Chains A and B, each alone.
Chain A
Amino acid sequence: GAGVSQTPSNKVTEKGKYVELRCDPISGHTALYWYRQSLGQGPEFLIYFQGTGAADDSGLPNDRFFAVRPEGSVSTLKIQRTERGDSAVYLCASSAAGANVLTFGAGSRLTVL
């Protein structure tokens, strides 16, 4: 597609529930990133995929967070047993091989009640 697409744009859930957030990167981009942006803060790195594999997941806050990219294109960020502190905008970005320029999606705004 023309840009990075993220769904849902908004998600409201209850504490303890499971959530999936989807990212569809720019066609042909091999690198995919997930960032989290809390209110009034800059985005913080969560995980980076090169192709199908997670090249760096050092930013995932704990084992409730997990992400997959099974075919090297679409990625899903999964959050188990959500907590109120997980409320944030989850941003996905992609880049072409060898490029240092990331293109971001509009984000998925997660609210945990």
Chain B
Amino acid sequence: QKEVEQDPGPLSVPEGAIVSLNCTYSNSAFQYFMWYRQYSRKGPELLMYTYSSGNKEDGRFTAQVDKSSKYISLFIRDSQPSDSATYLCAILLPGNTGKLIFGQGTTLQVKP
């Protein structure tokens, strides 16, 4: 079993839709969870960063962690065509090294 699993999609939604992106992970010791956005031919850029369980909101984006089910989610409200990108969940490995394990990435297309 991979340490982080993510449905690769692709996911296509109309502009204005609510988008839900999800990952599961295997190790209950993981504490730090991140979402990166990657545009075509660009490097990943950090969107959201959460510690342990709970929700974190930043504008139209909400990150949610459910440690009991080892499930992490990113919700995008009022999706825009500019949100079209690949979204990568990532887990920071314990040990303060900055090492990340990434999911496969979900490709999102928001159609105008």
Binding site for B on A (CB under 8 A): 4, 31, 33, 35, 40-45, 48, 55-56, 91, 93, 95, 98-107, 109
Contact = CB atoms under 8 A, between A and B. Distances in A.
Given A43-B44, A100-B92, A56 B99 contact: yes
Interface string B86-108: 00101010001111111111000
B97 A48 contact: yes
A84 B46 CA distance: 31
A42 B43 contact: no
A33 B36 CA distance: 16
Contacts, number: 60
Given A41-B105, A101-B49, A91 B43 contact: yes
Interface size bucket, B side? 20 to 34
A95 B43 contact: no
A4 B45 CA distance: 12
Contact of A101 (B41, B46, B96): B46
A89 to B, nearest CB: 9
Given A33-B98, A98-B96, A106-B41, 13 more contacts: A4-B43, A35-B100, A42-B102, A43-B102, A44-B102, A45-B100, A48-B97, A48-B98, A91-B44, A102-B100, A105-B43, A107-B42, A109-B41
B88 A42 contact: yes
A107 B103 CA distance: 18
Nearest to A107: B43
B32 interface: yes
A95 B34 CA distance: 15
A103 B43 CA distance: 9
